[in-house]
Structure 1
């Protein structure tokens, strides 16, 4: 006996009946929403059709190699990594159900991984936008503090957590270095000079009027204690709006901008890795994609054989 799926594809009852029992399990025992049940059904019946087309008539015949073929087919069909991951998750749940019923001994989808999601390229400010953001010349102590924080984040490529954790004693004006504690409580020293040093110096002259007597933090809030992550994020976003910068400003974006601009100028990936405090060079290599995009845009705009027809 053969049963028609919702997509009007004929499936052997040996495949379809187990699916129907699973749908009932989702409805009556799991209590999942109708929308979620429909998603499971769509994903599983699509895979059942693919497997049947490859000669599978019993769920017990499916092993890890068949599951990997499903993943490969999804990639060939142009599915996003997130969609393939969702499909695999549905299949794992279904096989767990069959194990629960004693119809399978092991889950063949458990050891199969979905393709890795492409990491979105970090967004950065261009040099002109950074200059526009950092034209803060107000005499208010909090404005001086904010510019010092932004100059330091952009000048040294710090993480937000690293910026907040800096204590006054970590700042070395004579050595031109600042001691920071990075991920995994790893200590490193970052170069510290130019406008970053100038504005941190200006802030230190104002700090004593705001900081609590026993406070060690370099950057403090108006209440006198160490400034919080949220406060830094909020203040930088506000300065972006106040300075009429088109891009949304965040601490992370200043770090990305530092890395991109240093790489564009130096072409020294290892140096950028050290400056950012990345343990693995692969983490830093994402900036080579940004740099390539920058070069590709310059090439398209300048090379006579790259210009599109009609443009002069």
Structure 2
């Protein structure tokens, strides 16, 4: 089992060229399965062993269970293709797990305004435009502006290179999940100006590192740094909820949908491989319609 896991991981890294995050998830899931099943020879694993493992997984969230089972399916399909095993035990197992419907958290327009006002006020309070504090707030404004204007994932933002942004900052090219590429127009002037200001203040480090967002040490900005300052700025803006970079992505999609944007355009902008993933935002939109009609329904004006 141990050797087969190693060869499978090697196959995923070298031949399939999967991302580091996917590889790490595969390794974690397969080690967990190996420790639970305690069988050295993969040929001895049948449907009863799988069912026993599925029962063990039942304590996890449904999304986690689905991922771990998907990892195992991929692993056993690989073993079958390589003729390491004759019979794939998954061919004798039927399992269907439905995700819980969890509506994404979003920011209201008012909350977005609060965050931007807080950032721009902080910028105006700094008199020394050559200080790092000034450069940092300029960069943070650009990060928030881009999250709002594009709906990019925090990982995509932190790996965005200057070469993937047009000279006038009106278009960005994103390398998304599964190495899928998409382009996103940046049409808002405030966002373009924020990106330009960030570039002007970090020009030397950006040219050296290639990445658009740089930290105080001249290295690419990390995802954790973005999460921390998003949380900090939301608190300063007196938003009493836990706000993450992904909330901006949800807000971007939801506000577009409420503005009557076609869901297929939103799917492309977000980099979703399936329209089913994007459909979650239609539930948010339906909730908004319900709230609207509860408050504004013309029938409410009639007393009979």
Which band: TM-score by shorter chain? 0.5 to 0.7
Shift of the 134–123 alpha-carbon distance from structure 1 to 2, 3 Å rule, reads: same
Structure 1 residue ranges, 4+ long, deviating more than 6 angstroms after superposition: none
Aligned residue number for residue 273 of structure 1: 267
Name the CA distance, whole Å, in 1 between partners of 2:169 and 2:209. Answer: 24
**Larger RCO (alpha carbons 8 Å, 6+ apart):** 2
Shift of the 291–134 alpha-carbon distance from structure 1 to 2, 3 Å rule, reads: same
TM-score when scaled to structure 2?
0.62
SS at match of 2:242: coil
Residue segments in structure 1 that go unaligned for 5+ positions in a row:
1-29, 31-66, 68-80, 86-106
Is the 1:161–1:229 Cα contact (8 Å) retained in structure 2?
A: yes
Q: CA RMSD in A?
A: 3.0
Name the CA distance, whole Å, in 2 between partners of 1:224 and 1:171. Answer: 19
Name the CA distance, whole Å, in 1 between partners of 2:226 and 2:211. Answer: 14
Shift in Å at residue 262 of structure 1? 0.6
Shift in Å at residue 141 of structure 1? 1.0
Aligned residue number for residue 176 of structure 1: 170
Higher helix share: 2
2:99 counterpart of 1:117: yes
Is the 1:177–1:190 Cα contact (8 Å) retained in structure 2?
A: yes
Name the CA distance, whole Å, in 1 between partners of 2:293 and 2:157. Answer: 37
Aligned residue number for residue 202 of structure 1: 197
Is the 2:199–2:206 Cα contact (8 Å) retained in structure 1?
A: no
Partner of residue 219 from structure 1, selected from 213, 222, 237: 213
Aligned residue number for residue 286 of structure 1: 280
Aligned residue number for residue 115 of structure 2: 133
In the TM superposition, 1:250-265 aligns within 5 A as 250-265=244-259
Shift of the 175–254 alpha-carbon distance from structure 1 to 2, 3 Å rule, reads: closer
Is the 1:156–1:275 Cα contact (8 Å) retained in structure 2?
A: yes
Name the CA distance, whole Å, in 2 between partners of 1:213 and 1:158. Answer: 22
Name the CA distance, whole Å, in 2 between partners of 1:266 and 1:212. Answer: 37
Is the 1:173–1:197 Cα contact (8 Å) retained in structure 2?
A: no
Residues 255-274 of structure 1 deviation map (CA, whole Å, 9 limit, x = unaligned): 00000001100241111111
Aligned residue number for residue 237 of structure 1: 231
SS at match of 1:266: coil
Aligned residue number for residue 70 of structure 1: none
SS at match of 1:214: helix
Name the CA distance, whole Å, in 1 between partners of 2:206 and 2:253. Answer: 34
Residues 35-58 of structure 1 deviation map (CA, whole Å, 9 limit, x = unaligned): xxxxxxxxxxxxxxxxxxxxxxxx
Residues 220-267 of structure 1 deviation map (CA, whole Å, 9 limit, x = unaligned): 111110011111101111111112123322110000000000110024
Is the 2:151–2:253 Cα contact (8 Å) retained in structure 1?
A: yes
SS at match of 1:179: strand
Name the CA distance, whole Å, in 2 between partners of 1:159 and 1:292. Answer: 24
Aligned residue number for residue 157 of structure 2: 163
SS at match of 1:290: helix
SS at match of 1:146: helix
Residues 131-186 of structure 1 deviation map (CA, whole Å, 9 limit, x = unaligned): 11112121411111011001101101101111011111211144721011100111
Name the CA distance, whole Å, in 2 between partners of 1:134 and 1:279. Answer: 31
Name the CA distance, whole Å, in 2 between partners of 1:176 and 1:204. Answer: 14
Shift in Å at residue 196 of structure 1? 1.5
Deviates most, 257-266 or 195-204: 195-204
SS at match of 1:233: helix
2:181 counterpart of 1:187: yes
